[in-house]
Chain A
Amino acid sequence: MPRRTLYLEYRDESLLRLPYELHRKVFKKAQNTWEREKVATAETIKDLAQKASSGEHSAEDSVKALDAAIAKMQNYKRKVETLHAEEKQLHGHQAKRIAHLQDLYKCPDLMDKSYERWSRKRLDRLLVDYLARHGHLETAKKLAEDRGIIDLVDLEMFMSCARIEESLKNKSTAECLVWCAENKMALRKQKSELEFELRLQDFVDLMRNQKLNEAMNYAKRFLAPHKATHFNAIRQAAGLLAASSRSHLMEHPQYKALYSEDRWSYLAETFIKTHNSLLGLPPGPSIFVALPAGLSALKVSACYPSCPPTTSGPATSNTSLCPICATELKPLAKDLPYAHYARSSMDLDPVVLPNNRIYSEERLHSLAKKLGLPQGMIRDPTTGEDFEQTQVKKVFIM
């Protein structure tokens, strides 16, 4: 297998990384529940044994207490089973994705049909990723369903992410705060600012609505715990409490910023960033990396000629197939660098026609044959002019 195919899937890490991170979340939940359950159960049993031996509990009391413990344990077991179902589903996703990546290894080379099929699937994935990240969730879902790649993309995750983003844009912090609570440990580890910023926003909003007492209580409860890391911001926010009127404050740029409506889009952006880094998602859609690389690799000066070639190229030339020359990609490739070529790259049998156009001799012959031209005649595939074969001259490309 050619070496380079082995590298191809390097950027598909998030394909496997995401289910893993989601799985880890499930496991963390399971472990936390278990830690609590373990301590509680151990203590209950110890306690019951003691009460039995001290005579505080009769046999009947113990039976009752054991019934309660059993019920509690069963309840816990149900929780574990729910988590196990989630875990199983994620394992399933993981398996399908690994199989998808394995398919790449089965392609004998880049020219094989199987690689083309695989690459098409990859593009579908990249498109769904792009669409979902830009909030076009309906299109994303439809495309994923139509192409049968629902298990290879993480639409549910994008949907819940979009819901929270939307709620922030609609000026509500509640949904995002719930998310923060769910991911408390991970956020703390990352030293994320998100929760503080949300709390600050809530505080500012209370002030905006002149709810002084509530604001004070809110600050005590939710801002004060952050004093080690955000002392200055808290002090500044506290300034709001001292000011008698809002218009007075608005003269100061830092207070104006606190009251600004732009803070909501800032919060939404911060949330997305935090969310993505928490789940090991790339900061942008993968197609933003793949596409420019591809455009540059294909872009040559011939794609931007001063006089455009005729649109319907002949069957013997590739020109009309060039993706950079296609109207939809041309503007995207415009400012990207050109491909680098150290040597000329063309057919090995170039000849020049009297009109100064250079073609492959063999291609000219096969075109003449296909067109059924009279013996000894050839046709310029671009201009349609006919020439005698004797007018054709060999050209040497070093």
Chain B
Amino acid sequence: MDSIQAELDKLTGKSNLSKVATDIDACIKQLEAARNSIMQDPSQHLATMECLTRTIPTQLEKINTDHREIYTGMNRFDKALNKKFKLSASITKTDYDVFRQIDTKLIDKAIGMHLIREGEFEVAETFEKETGVSILDINSDLKEGFVEMYKIVSAMRLLRDIGPAIQWAEAHATELEQRGSTLLFQLHKLQFIWLFANGTKGGPGKLEALQYARTHLSPFMQHLKEISQLMCGYAFGENMPREFFGAPFEDPEKQWDDVAYVFMGEFCSLRGLSADSPLYIAATAGAIALPTLLKMKSIMKDKKTEWSSSHEVPVEVPLPPTYRFHPIFVCPVSKEQTDEKNPPMLLTCGHVIAMESLHKLPKNEHGLLKCPYCPKSCLIHHAKRVYF
């Protein structure tokens, strides 16, 4: 990237048409000077014209050089681009055809949904008008849901007003509690921290915060440890020793963002949705996966081999752990992922293998078989189908 930047700097700094313009100006000046000198002294007519036949071609040559310099500069920029994006050459035309069989309406719908999920309601409306695709079913209240969510979130983000979020969390307290969510406490905690650091009247509002804690934090007995950390703020000030108390007062602005994100997560999960737009996750995962996939493709092309299993991608993609949403069980015997037809089976010793592998293991007439991973034996009908 730096080399591209350097080439661009050269283009913007000197190798551009402004130099041409300057040199044209000089040319015009020479012509004007000649004209003026003839006007003033017609006797110099011949000499001046003679002089022009020498100076003008030199000047023209200069402009020529200016052009050549731009040309060279652009070529160098081009080379730098090619070098940087070598991998993009390995994307071929067919790579764009994966979705050929898929109805564009489905893609449009997914995009429309993404727009709603990102809170781009006006864009979504324009999109519906332009494509004629209706993003949501008529009786879906999803959009209203997201309108509400973004209202609450922008109150937090823009106005630093936590009220609407707390109202929502209190209205959904039972559901949140069932999920083991600590959202309500986190909201009150944030409000406390914000009051402690900024108050409502400008400047720290330690007393206000104390009042707030007495009414709003005290009911959360299960979070006693965190509350006591917060209360240490009164003894030690904001810069309390981090090794004992953590840093509850650090970077409140960031905490607003974080808690808003937690809020969005909880809001969405109550509706069975993820906090991040699925399209965003998938596209990002794609960006992370592509280099590996492309590399694999070029290796397979070089070796003229083809991937035998068409229903699996030929290579394991190193996605970060947050991009794993289901536990994956791969049978250690057959190295295959289990599914409904070939489910995972738990042996009495605690090891798990796939059903097909289980049936292939040697067993005696009573159905007794030895676990492939430990010395214990297990009756085949004692193996249990398990669910991850």
Contact B280–A7 (Cβ < 8 Å): no
Could you mark each residue 311-328 of chain B with 1 if its beta carbon is under 8 Å from any beta carbon of chain A, else 0?
A: 111111111101111111
Question: Known contacts being A323-B279, A332-B110, A397-B352, is A30 close to B288, with CB within 8 Å?
Answer: no
Partner of B50, one of A49, A311, A343: A49
Give chain B residues whose Cβ lies under 8 Å from the Cβ of A343. Answer: 330
CA distance A328 to B177 in the complex (A): 29
Residue of A nearest to B317 (CB): A297
Main secondary structure of the interface of A (DSSP, over half): helix
Give chain B residues whose Cβ lies under 8 Å from the Cβ of A336. Answer: 98
A101 within 8 A of B: yes
Which of A37-45, A164-172, A199-207 lies at the binding interface?
A37-45
Give chain A residues whose Cβ lies under 8 Å from the Cβ of B294. Answer: 10
Give chain B residues whose Cβ lies under 8 Å from the Cβ of A318. Answer: 324-326
Contact A293–B269 (Cβ < 8 Å): no
B338 within 8 A of A: yes
A81 within 8 A of B: yes
A190 within 8 A of B: no
Question: Considering only CB atoms and an 8 Å cut-off, how many residues of chain A contact the other chain?
Answer: 139
B78 within 8 A of A: yes
Contact B45–A52 (Cβ < 8 Å): yes
Which of B178-186, B193-201, B211-219 lies at the binding interface?
B178-186
CB distance from B14 to the nearest CB of A (A): 12
CA distance A96 to B64 in the complex (A): 30
CB distance from B65 to the nearest CB of A (A): 12
Contact A53–B50 (Cβ < 8 Å): yes
Residue of A nearest to B92 (CB): A283
B310 within 8 A of A: yes
Contact B352–A396 (Cβ < 8 Å): yes
Question: Considering only CB atoms and an 8 Å cut-off, how many residues of chain B contact the other chain?
Answer: 142
CA distance A288 to B102 in the complex (A): 11
Which of B1-9, B239-247, B361-369 lies at the binding interface?
B1-9
Question: Known contacts being A293-B286, A358-B388, is A41 close to B60, with CB within 8 Å?
Answer: yes
- Residue from A81, A346, A347, A398 with most neighbouring chain B CB atoms (10 Å): A398
Could you mark each residue 151-182 of chain B with 1 if its beta carbon is under 8 Å from any beta carbon of chain A, else 0?
A: 00000000000000000000000010111111
CA distance A119 to B286 in the complex (A): 11
Sample of 26 A–B contacts (CB below 8 Å): A4-B292, A8-B288, A13-B81, A20-B77, A24-B74, A34-B63, A34-B67, A66-B34, A73-B27, A98-B8, A122-B283, A139-B130, A143-B123, A146-B122, A284-B96, A289-B290, A298-B323, A300-B337, A306-B340, A315-B269, A316-B180, A322-B326, A335-B102, A337-B313, A352-B386, A371-B178
- A-B CB proximity, top 3 nearest: A294-B286, A284-B96, A323-B278
Additional pairs, 8, CB under 8 Å, beyond known A146-B120, A293-B290, A298-B319: A20-B78, A138-B126, A322-B325, A325-B325, A340-B315, A345-B330, A356-B384, A370-B180
Q: Which residues on A are within 8 Å of B, measured CB to CB?
A: 4, 7-8, 10-13, 16-17, 20, 23-24, 27, 30-31, 34, 38, 41-42, 45-46, 48-49, 52-53, 58-60, 62-63, 66-67, 69-70, 73-74, 76-77, 80-81, 83-84, 87-88, 91, 94-95, 98, 101-102, 105, 110-111, 116, 119-120, 122-123, 126-127, 130-131, 134, 136, 138-139, 142-143, 146, 282-285, 287-298, 300-303, 305-306, 311-316, 318-326, 328-329, 331-332, 335-347, 352, 356-358, 366-367, 369-372, 393-398
